Structure 1
Amino acid sequence: MTIQQMNNVGIVVDDLAAAIAFFAELGMELEGQAAIEGSWADRAVGLDGIRCDIAMMVTPDGHGRLELSQYHSPALLPSPRNQPHNILGTHRVMYTVDDLDDTIARLRRHGGELIGEVSRFDEHTRICYFRGPAGIIIGLAEYK
């Protein structure tokens, strides 16, 4: 048996509203929000007493989804926010954007920070890594 599709990527955040605003500025749309709790969630995730709010963000083409989760119970476990990209288990989500410079400027207004610098991958591609809410690392690529 093979997989049918990739459903979403999940990221835990400490400020759901700020994360929604950041990814909306990137161009994603809020598809929906829900409160998650109950024994089914405890069993699925392997934690007891889960209470969290989630927001599902979707890319404009409707194919990519990002699930943002803010836990109220059990309490969030702290992690360093400025980890380098080569830490085991560190994830990034890569997005293609129309205008890399404009996107960087808009995301900076939401507290985002460029990690390194904008680099040219090849003659048609500019790329960078960017840190957003809760230390999330995203990749941004512009193809021209």
Structure 2
Amino acid sequence: MTGTEPQGARRGTVQRLDNVAVVVDDLAAAVAFFVELGLELEGEATVEGGEVDRLVGLEGVRSDIAMMRTPDGHGRLELTKYHSPAIRGGDPHAPANTLGAHRVMFAVDDIDDVLDRLRPHGAELLGELVRYENSYRLCYLRGPAGILVALAQSTT
């Protein structure tokens, strides 16, 4: 490589973000939450066996996964429920600044409507719904299994 190649021309570089995976304790509830948010269930599967064990570095893996897709087809969220080995406990109420914490942000067209629809599914605001620099209305909420979800509505 000479350093003059166009960006992205190097071999072995990232092509796209394919999905983000989150471990949940109640797969059906998590799927219902994200369907209500507007994601589409792309498919479900049970995965297990030696290849899966070697892939994730655990022994005796058996898990159910649900692949959720954003309406534009570009983003995916993989929800994973482990049956074995047992799920290691985490803090489902960990604050947003916890090391390694995950947060998934979605652009929405009506943040108030989305919040109203998600509350019956257990969504709780972490802070407040705020207007940020006259460009966005934003909020953080906690979803199933403690997943931090951010919502952003453009105001421009």
User: Which TM-score band applies after superposition, normalised by the shorter structure?
Assistant: over 0.9
1:118 aligns with 2:135: no
Deviation at 1:142, TM superposition (A): 0.3
CA distance, structure 2, for counterparts of residue 78 and residue 50 of structure 1: 17
CA distance, structure 1, for counterparts of residue 83 and residue 63 of structure 2: 5
Q: From 129, 140, 143, give the equivalent of 2:151.
A: 140
- Which blocks of at least 5 consecutive residues in structure 2 are unaligned? 1-10
SS at match of 1:102: helix
RMSD of aligned alpha carbons: 0.6
Deviation at 1:122, TM superposition (A): 1.7
CA distance, structure 2, for counterparts of residue 74 and residue 51 of structure 1: 7
2:68 is aligned to: 57
CA distance, structure 2, for counterparts of residue 121 and residue 8 of structure 1: 27
1:6 is aligned to: 17
CA distance, structure 2, for counterparts of residue 49 and residue 134 of structure 1: 23
- Which blocks of at least 5 consecutive residues in structure 1 are unaligned? none
Question: Which TM-score applies when normalising by structure 1?
Answer: 0.98
Q: From 81, 93, 104, give the equivalent of 1:93.
A: 104
The structure having more radius of gyration, on CA atoms, is 2
CA distance, structure 1, for counterparts of residue 15 and residue 91 of structure 2: 35
Identity of aligned residues (%): 60
Deviation at 1:124, TM superposition (A): 2.6
1:34 is aligned to: 45
After superposition, what is the alpha-carbon deviation per residue over 1:6-30, rounded to whole angstroms, capped at 9, x for unaligned? 1100000000000000000000000
Question: Which TM-score applies when normalising by structure 2?
Answer: 0.91
1:18 is aligned to: 29
CA distance, structure 2, for counterparts of residue 81 and residue 10 of structure 1: 16
1:106 is aligned to: 117
Deviation at 1:81, TM superposition (A): 1.1
Report the count of equivalent residues: 144
2:78 is aligned to: 67
Q: Which consecutive segments of 4 or more residues in structure 1 shift more than 6 A?
A: none
CA distance, structure 2, for counterparts of residue 5 and residue 112 of structure 1: 29
2:89 is aligned to: 78
CA distance, structure 1, for counterparts of residue 17 and residue 90 of structure 2: 27
1:43 is aligned to: 54
